[in-house]
Amino acid sequence: MASANPKSGWNFSKDFWTANFLELCERMAYYGFFIVLTLYLTNIAGFSDKETGVIAGVFYAGIFFLNPFVGALGDRIGFRKGIMITFSSLAFGYCMLGLFHTKAAVLFFLLFVMFGAAFIKPLISGTVAKTTNEDNRARGFSVFYWVVNIGAFTGKTFVPFIRQEYGLVNLNYFSAIMALFALVFAFFFYHPERYEGKTKSTKEIFHSLIKVVTTPRLIFLILIVSGFWITQGQLYATMPKYVIRLLGEQAKPEWLANVNPLIVVVFVVLITHLMKKKKAINSILIGMLLMPFSAFAMSLGTSLGNITGNEISIFGLFTLHPLTAMLITGIAIQGFAECFISPRYLEYFSLQAPKGEEGMYLGFGNLYNFFSSLAGFILSGFLLDAYCPDPKTLPANLTAEQHAAYYAHAHYIWYYFIATGIIAVTALLVYRHITQKKDIEKEVKPAE
């Protein structure tokens, strides 16, 4: 017998599908822009690698820090008005970044993109939450998760064609057009109900933030998991410049970055199913253990090239540069690591929160993105400057051998992330031991 509830099963409302389509457009715009952000800041705006690391780190960290606050704003003014403001801000910011390239102008217009990118997630995920019920919420968010990854994959797929054929600066117009299209679509088709729900004040959100950062179990967990995302974030912080500076402008780092969402989309459901009877902390630990191997694989491109030359055959079907082959291997390992970590992290995080306050604490469960963005991008800027410098900063009239000498140790960059991964895994093992010991002590105390 069919369910009487119109929202049961896979039968979602128009608002649900409209919101997911808007998410698809926004993710295409965002990832098309973000994958080349560090290239844009250095090659177009003229910032140094170190300055670029700081700016990109603050930009990305700011998005995740603002999420809960702009989410509260969306609850107050309504989802439709929030969506219109969001896509207006994004379209304007992207377009202005295409038109104006002075350092001051770029910093100013990046704020519009940061605000819009922070605002969109709570609005769309909020719509998904409010248009589903207990029966189909898991399915609803699985659709949402797929849409996010499809948007990320699609946006990065188009980017190299635009960058190589029309120039890096024109990628901003691609993102602006996608945001403008979403704005027009939302104007005509996004008319959500005034969903009921508790609205938090800014004061309450700050109170939640303070409670999270002053709860040792939670803040240490956030910092430890940041170790994974520091390395994962190098797909955007280091890898685009690393590939282009070593292989030339014909390289497509955007496609290499797509290996990560491809692995996640294909394997996340299977891995989550296989690990469902395991403790969440153990699933997270497996993912963390994979990260040093990911960075190690990415460091092997130079060594492999010394053995094979500039081409290696892949099962006789096609050839790849050794650097490309090892980056793909490392990024694929990262994708598998994410499959073990991401679905279980918030589950475990919620279990560490005080009983009855899980929702409030989960609002800041993604603070690892804040810390990992600041640390990862800033570190990337210094490492690129030291081991894989901007060609424009090198002395003029270098011979080929002299030029190559500046990049001879570029792969050393990944050694720092091997160390980051090992430290994070060690810290998680210590964390697991201490928290499990304290939990056992709590269970024993009432019986004494």
Give the other-Cβ count within 10 Å of 218's Cβ.
20
Domain 12-190 -> CATH class: mainly alpha
| Architecture category of domain 216-390+403-443 in CATH | Up-down Bundle (1.20)
CA dihedral 433→439→440→444, nearest 10 degrees, is 160
Q: What is the mean pLDDT of residues 38-58?
A: 96
As given in the structure block, the two tokens for residue 107 are 């910093």
Cα-trace Rg, the chain: 23
End-to-end Cα separation, the chain, in angstroms? 53
pTM check: above 0.85 = yes
Using CB atoms within 10 Å of the CB of residue 363, give its burial: 0 to 12 exposed, 13 to 18 middle, 19+ buried: buried
- Position 4 scores a pLDDT of 43
| Nearest Cα residue to 69 out of 31, 34, 115 | 115
Give SS3 for 278: coil
Percentage of residues in the chain with pLDDT exceeding 90? 56
- Position 225 scores a pLDDT of 92
Is the confidence at residue 156, as pLDDT, over 80? yes
- Position 23 scores a pLDDT of 92
Domains of the chain by residue range: 12-190, 216-390+403-443
Beta-ladder partners of 319: 313
Q: What is the pLDDT of residues 270-315, one digit of tens each?
A: 888 888 888 888 999 999 999 999 999 999 998 998 888 888 888 8
Higher pLDDT, 285 or 353: 285
Identify the helix (H) or strand (E) that includes residue 319: strand 318-320
315 φψ region: left (φ > 0), alpha (ψ -120 to 50), beta (else): left
Give SS3 for 448: coil
Identify the helix (H) or strand (E) that includes residue 391: none
User: Of how many residues is the chain composed?
Assistant: 448
- Position 448 scores a pLDDT of 46
- Position 359 scores a pLDDT of 62
Is the confidence at residue 213, as pLDDT, over 90? no
Residues 185/22, Cβ–Cβ less than 8 Å: yes
Confidence at 109, pLDDT banded by 50, 70, 90? very high
As given in the structure block, the two tokens for residue 167 are 């120039």
Confidence at 198, pLDDT banded by 50, 70, 90? low
- Position 390 scores a pLDDT of 95
